[in-house]
């Protein structure tokens, strides 16, 4: 395996799956993965409508103790499909981008009912736009019931709206604030508290229907704050289209491009993103009006993206890389992947805060966190004791497998110890 191939598989992918064929041209392989619609969308899954109906059912039966929670049943089934896809996908670069954007627009199970729509959110608001335009993704996210629930906009009412005046309900700025701070322009753009409040007023009425059919996103005219609102110097009138226009403007703001370019380069290149690399991706976003496919391809063309790997795999990346490397045959009982992810500190779709999971080594390389990886690797290797560690190492890491690790593996007292040394080695932690 050539070093560029290893980098394509590891830096841009989820690690090589067993002895899967190697791409002849690593860069072309990456580009190819962004062609056409996301293949994961071919597998049927629960829709937002299914999820909201499950919430309705669960709310109605809350008093009764019997039977399974329909939200939990739905989530477990979706989670199993999601994990199975990550373990077997042939378009790992696209999956990495899906994970990146789903984390950029975090919806977390910390808000319990979000479990009902969290996977539908990824399928409906993230996947269709990973190779499309950022503005379309922002709009899809901001009108998705999962996000409207997670960041409370469904409970936000214009203080002077019909509902606001009669039911004494008021504004909730949560979604507007995070959209400015995290999703688009960031504080670097210089917005003020007044801008946050005005933005929140613009998107009053962006809500969810759960109680009656049809369930789903709904614009509630009677919750919309009347009158004009001024956000970052621009005036927006009443109605849903004002919010659509505001999001379109924010999604094409230079500060937004700067934010996205920095995060993308930090994710794929280095914890401290090289300025030149950020500028190149930023320029592509500006030139194309936020074309995410063009931006993703630009990252693969950065010389900095083919230098030695320095990023630390997040716990979930690490688990997936190990499981793909050993490529358990179908007759082996698969490990409880979501349980493992929780055990190593990154429970699936359960980031603590709206800013999502961190993306730097210092956040993941805690002392106990590293030892847990070692202990898990050791525990796991007991299940794959018949595999040849040298072979697994050669297939998964190719030229990145260090002589020091190889020497320790060859000196190990058992296959299991050798496999542990491989899976817990420094190079296996890198991507």
Binding stretches for other proteins (CB under 8 A):
312, 328-329, 331-332, 361-362, 365-371, 374-376, 378-379, 382-389, 404-405, 408, 410-418, 420-421, 424-426, 429
Q: How far is the CB of 357 from other proteins (least distance, A)?
A: 17
Task: Report the residue number, 92 or 273, with the smaller CB distance to other proteins.
Answer: 273
Q: How far is the CB of 393 from other proteins (least distance, A)?
A: 13
Q: Residue with structure tokens 């049943």?
A: 73
Helix (H, G, I), strand (E, B) or coil at 75: helix
Q: How far is the CB of 380 from other proteins (least distance, A)?
A: 9
CA distance 237 to 385: 66
Task: Report the residue number, 7 or 416, with the smaller CB distance to other proteins.
Answer: 416
CA distance 373 to 314: 11
Task: Report the residue number, 101 or 318, with the smaller CB distance to other proteins.
Answer: 318
Task: Report the residue number, 284 or 400, with the smaller CB distance to other proteins.
Answer: 400
Q: How far is the CB of 156 from other proteins (least distance, A)?
A: 42
To 5 degrees, how large is the angle CA 316–CA 317–CA 322?
A: 100
Q: Which residues touch 268 (CB under 8 Å, ≥6 apart)?
A: 11, 12, 96, 299, 305, 311
Task: Report the residue number, 142 or 269, with the smaller CB distance to other proteins.
Answer: 269
Q: Which residues touch 274 (CB under 8 Å, ≥6 apart)?
A: 265, 304
Residue 381: how many other CB atoms lie within 10 Å: 24
Helix (H, G, I), strand (E, B) or coil at 231: strand
Q: Residue 45 pairs with which residues in a beta bridge? A: none
Q: Which residues touch 130 (CB under 8 Å, ≥6 apart)?
A: 34, 38, 94, 97, 98, 101, 137, 292, 293, 296
Q: How far is the CB of 43 from other proteins (least distance, A)?
A: 27
Structure tokens that stand for 127 in this block = 């996947």
CA distance 311 to 11: 8
Residue 235: how many other CB atoms lie within 10 Å: 10
Q: How far is the CB of 33 from other proteins (least distance, A)?
A: 29
Task: Report the residue number, 11 or 119, with the smaller CB distance to other proteins.
Answer: 11
Task: Report the residue number, 67 or 329, with the smaller CB distance to other proteins.
Answer: 329
Q: How far is the CB of 97 from other proteins (least distance, A)?
A: 24
Task: Report the residue number, 148 or 396, with the smaller CB distance to other proteins.
Answer: 396
User: SS3 sequence, 249-263?
Assistant: HHHCCHHHHHHHHHH
Q: How far is the CB of 407 from other proteins (least distance, A)?
A: 10
Q: Which residues touch 419 (CB under 8 Å, ≥6 apart)?
A: 377, 381, 384, 385, 387, 389, 392
Helix (H, G, I), strand (E, B) or coil at 199: helix
Task: Report the residue number, 52 or 418, with the smaller CB distance to other proteins.
Answer: 418
> Cβ(368)–Cβ(361) under 8 Å?
no
Q: How far is the CB of 376 from other proteins (least distance, A)?
A: 8
Q: How far is the CB of 429 from other proteins (least distance, A)?
A: 6
Rg from Cα positions in the chain: 23
Task: Report the residue number, 64 or 368, with the smaller CB distance to other proteins.
Answer: 368
């Amino acid at each position: 395996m050539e070093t560029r191939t290893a980098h394509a598989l590891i830096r841009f992918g989820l690690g090589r799956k067993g002895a899967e064929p190697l791409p002849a041209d690593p860069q072309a392989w990456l580009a190819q993965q962004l062609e056409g619609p996301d293949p994961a969308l071919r597998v049927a899954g629960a829709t937002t409508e299914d999820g909201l109906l499950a919430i309705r059912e669960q709310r109605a039966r809350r008093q009764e103790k019997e039977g399974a929670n329909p939200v939990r049943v739905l989530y477990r089934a979706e989670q199993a499909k999601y994990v199975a896809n990550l373990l077997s996908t042939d378009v790992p670069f696209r999956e990495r981008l899906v994970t990146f954007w789903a984390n950029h627009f975090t919806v977390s199970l910390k808000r319990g009912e979000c479990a009902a729509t969290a996977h539908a959110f990824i399928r409906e608001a993230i996947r269709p736009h990973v190779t499309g335009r950022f503005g379309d993704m922002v709009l899809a996210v901001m009108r998705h019931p999962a996000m409207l629930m997670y960041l409370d906009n469904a409970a936000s009412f214009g203080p002077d709206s019909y509902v606001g005046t009669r039911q004494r309900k008021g504004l909730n700025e949560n979604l507007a604030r995070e959209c400015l701070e995290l999703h688009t322009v960031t504080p670097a753009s210089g917005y003020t508290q007044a801008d946050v409040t005005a933005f929140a007023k613009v998107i009053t009425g962006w809500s969810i229907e759960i109680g009656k059919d049809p369930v789903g996103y709904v614009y509630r005219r009677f919750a919309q704050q009347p009158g004009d609102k001024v956000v970052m110097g621009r005036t927006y009138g009443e109605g849903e289209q004002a919010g659509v226009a505001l999001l379109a403007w924010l999604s094409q703001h230079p500060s937004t491009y700067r934010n996205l370019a920095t995060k993308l380069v930090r994710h794929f290149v280095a914890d401290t993103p090289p300025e030149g690399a950020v500028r190149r991706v930023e320029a592509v976003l500006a030139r194309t009006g936020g074309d995410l496919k063009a931006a993703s391809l630009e990252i693969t063309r950065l010389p900095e993206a083919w230098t030695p790997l320095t990023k630390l795999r997040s716990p979930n990346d690490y688990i997936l890389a190990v499981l793909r490397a050993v490529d358990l045959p179908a007759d082996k009982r698969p490990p409880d992947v979501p349980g493992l992810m929780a055990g190593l500190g990154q429970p699936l779709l359960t980031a603590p805060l709206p800013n999502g999971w961190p993306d730097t080594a210092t956040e993941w390389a805690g002392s106990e966190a590293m030892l847990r990886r070692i202990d898990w690797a050791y525990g796991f290797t007991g299940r794959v004791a018949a595999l040849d560690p040298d072979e697994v190492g050669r297939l998964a890491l190719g030229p990145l497998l260090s002589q020091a690790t190889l020497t320790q593996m060859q000196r190990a007292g058992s296959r299991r110890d050798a496999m542990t040394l491989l899976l817990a080695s420094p190079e296996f932690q890198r991507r």
